[in-house]
Structure 1
Amino acid sequence: MRKALTLALPLLLVLSACGGDTGDAELKTSGDAAILESVRVEGGSDVEAPEVTFESPLDVTGPAAATITAGDGEAIADGDRVSFHLVGLNAEDGTVLGDTYSAEPQTLDLIEKLQEDDPELYEVLVGTTIGSQIAYTNVIEGQEPQQLIVMQVLSAEAAPPVPPEPEVLSPEAVEELDADGQLPTFTFDNDDAPVIEIPDNEPSDDLVIKVLEAGDGEVITEEDTIAANYAGWRWEDGEQFDSSYPGGEPIEFPLSGVIEGWTKGLAGQTVGSKVLLVIPSPMAYGDPAAEGRPSGTLAFYVEIVEKVAAE
């Protein structure tokens, strides 16, 4: 349930080979872009990652974005949805950590949320041309090594209207869904791991929080770190995508560093509680989600084992 970071962040690569003459197109920069001056991109295509080189190590001191190679397509506008491929590299030694070129392109909407969350990336993307290569990096707390992401912008079109932001469903509405049999139920296998049964109805557009069993421990807040046993499933097909139970021990998470549905769904609960969360995609990983993340509405069983003391 951790936030999608690093390789899940947007980065683009061009429709054709990289490098070469940038013509009259503008090479845009934002943030601490001086650290990206040595980045070079060569070769590659829309199905094969390019070669990215730079003077290592990159001194990643803050967010930075820069157009490395300008494409010859139309300019990208605010409100567009861009599709892209990316390659991620170790910022210390240039080792390739992975790329998305063998999968479907990822998408990113240039809307207010991106402008708030990643203003440097937003600033460089708006006005950049289709086909451009864009380098992006940021300091991710607790991540070693830091990463350099290089994106190839494949296309851009007007993004669909932004749906209303989901809210936390009222306890009365949750009770009504439960009474109507519209919420998941759980049984437990021989290892006491939860097994879910998801009903056939469409999930709520809002965050569902149902306390299955209330604990008698401390109340936790959004700033706390907790240890929890949990399992998560996609609503769409019931596929389990994550679970702490095979490891036999609860896992620690700061509630400030997980998806919004976990933060809002668990803050205010007490240690010892067992909770069902049905999390709409905007409060989870999105739909479609970044590669390697589950898409759409997610259901979680969470047992809050402990509030972890600050060091």
Structure 2
Amino acid sequence: MRKVLATLLLLLLALTACGEATTGRTAGDSGILDSVEVSGGSDDEAPTVEFDTPLDVTGPAVKTVVEGDGAEIEANQQITFRAVFLNTEDGASVGDTYSEGEPQALPVDDSLKEQDAELYEVLIGTKVGAQIAYTRPMEAVEGQPQSAPQQLLVLKVLSAEDPPPAPPEPEVLAPEDVQKLEDEGQLATFTFGEDGAPQVNVPDREPSEDLVVKVLEEGAGEVVTEADTITANYSGWRWEDGENFDSSYSRGEPADFPLNGVIQGWTEGLSGQKVGSKVMLEIPALWAYGDPAPQGAPAGALVFYVEIVAKAAAQ
């Protein structure tokens, strides 16, 4: 009997050891990630990642390759992470985010579930501290050129918390409050070169949480509505540093915009204005492109100079 019990104990220990090696959560074609090994590194230093090359990536593949020891990630939390990127053909490093400022944030919500179901599936229930290997065919990654190398991403989950409360929805600042800012010299002002292109002077204050609209010169044309397409000359700058990110003046001609198809700050600020008007818009981030903003778009609060040249009713 003792011999049988000893044999069963050894088998149990062996099964437990095997289970610990394969308990990582998986989704998609995760078998291609079985050779991925992660060693070393810390929350601020990229680990070493090794795997059998090349990886045959034919579909999404996600696998927890190193278990964490923190709390389990729950739906609708927001994680922070750092990541390394490797070429799936030869395992060479393509880059990492360990040396780039603050960790990146990712909401584990219905939006992620819809856009990247496999990653969402693996994150839910995985523990903070885990290292997760992830890849999908490069042609399925939005915004990536076809010439970009196929990549394996290994991300380390640093934290998982309930997301911060959403900031209050902006409003259009009342005319008397706009006048108060002007009286105090706290509105953005403009100077103009010989070519007529504006340059901005951003006041030394925090941007408004609401949309600031100042009509610099009122036009004599028709009133613009949200359903109209307008032709406008404009320039836009980041409030934070006064960097000019876009200008019709540099292209030498005005541009056409449907007012129901632009950032909300333009829709709210230009609807009700007259053709021929010249308008200053100080737009909070929530009514601009956000903060952080999508790739290629300016982040944070923005300031615009807009001259409404013409309008055409929407078709």
Instruction: Tell me the TM-score normalized by structure 2.
Output: 0.62
Please tell me whether the aligned partners of residues 229 and 311 of structure 2 are also in contact (alpha carbons under 8 angstroms): yes
Q: CA deviation at 1:205?
A: 1.3
- Residue 78 of structure 2 corresponds to 80
Matched residue SS, 1:256: coil
Please tell me whether the aligned partners of residues 110 and 122 of structure 1 are also in contact (alpha carbons under 8 angstroms): no
Q: Which runs of 5+ in 1 are unaligned?
A: 1-21, 30-36, 59-65, 88-97
2:276 pairs with 1:272: yes
Matched residue SS, 2:115: helix
2:297 pairs with 1:302: no
Read off the aligned partner of 2:78 and give its amino acid letter. Answer: D
Taking only aligned residues, the RMSD between alpha carbons, in angstroms, comes to: 4.5
Distance 1:281 1:190, change over 3 A: same
- Residue 206 of structure 1 corresponds to 210
- Residue 187 of structure 1 corresponds to 191
Please tell me whether the aligned partners of residues 57 and 136 of structure 2 are also in contact (alpha carbons under 8 angstroms): no
- Residue 225 of structure 2 corresponds to 220
Question: Which protein has the bigger helix share?
Answer: 2
Q: Deviations over 1:194-226 (max 9, x none)?
A: 1111111222111111122223224221x4332
- Residue 262 of structure 2 corresponds to 258
Please tell me whether the aligned partners of residues 217 and 271 of structure 1 are also in contact (alpha carbons under 8 angstroms): yes
Read off the aligned partner of 2:124 and give its amino acid letter. Answer: G
Q: Deviations over 1:87-119 (max 9, x none)?
A: 9xxxxxxxxxx99969667844528xx75x676
Aligned pair count reads 258
Matched residue SS, 2:260: helix
Q: CA deviation at 1:24?
A: 4.2
Matched residue SS, 2:268: helix
Distance 1:76 1:180, change over 3 A: same
| Structure 2 CA distance for aligned equivalents of residues 169 and 70 of structure 1 | 49
| Structure 1 CA distance for aligned equivalents of residues 266 and 202 of structure 2 | 19
Please tell me whether the aligned partners of residues 235 and 249 of structure 2 are also in contact (alpha carbons under 8 angstroms): yes
Distance 1:246 1:161, change over 3 A: same
| Structure 2 CA distance for aligned equivalents of residues 26 and 165 of structure 1 | 38
Distance 1:138 1:308, change over 3 A: farther
| Structure 1 CA distance for aligned equivalents of residues 202 and 191 of structure 2 | 12
2:124 pairs with 1:127: yes
- Residue 291 of structure 2 corresponds to 287
| Structure 1 CA distance for aligned equivalents of residues 209 and 225 of structure 2 | 25
Q: CA deviation at 1:168?
A: 1.8
**Matched ranges for 1:82-97 at <5 A:** 82-83=80-81
Please tell me whether the aligned partners of residues 85 and 105 of structure 1 are also in contact (alpha carbons under 8 angstroms): no
Percent of residue pairs identical: 42
| Structure 1 CA distance for aligned equivalents of residues 151 and 274 of structure 2 | 39
Q: Which runs of 5+ in 2 are unaligned?
A: 1-20, 39-45, 86-93
- Residue 163 of structure 1 corresponds to 167
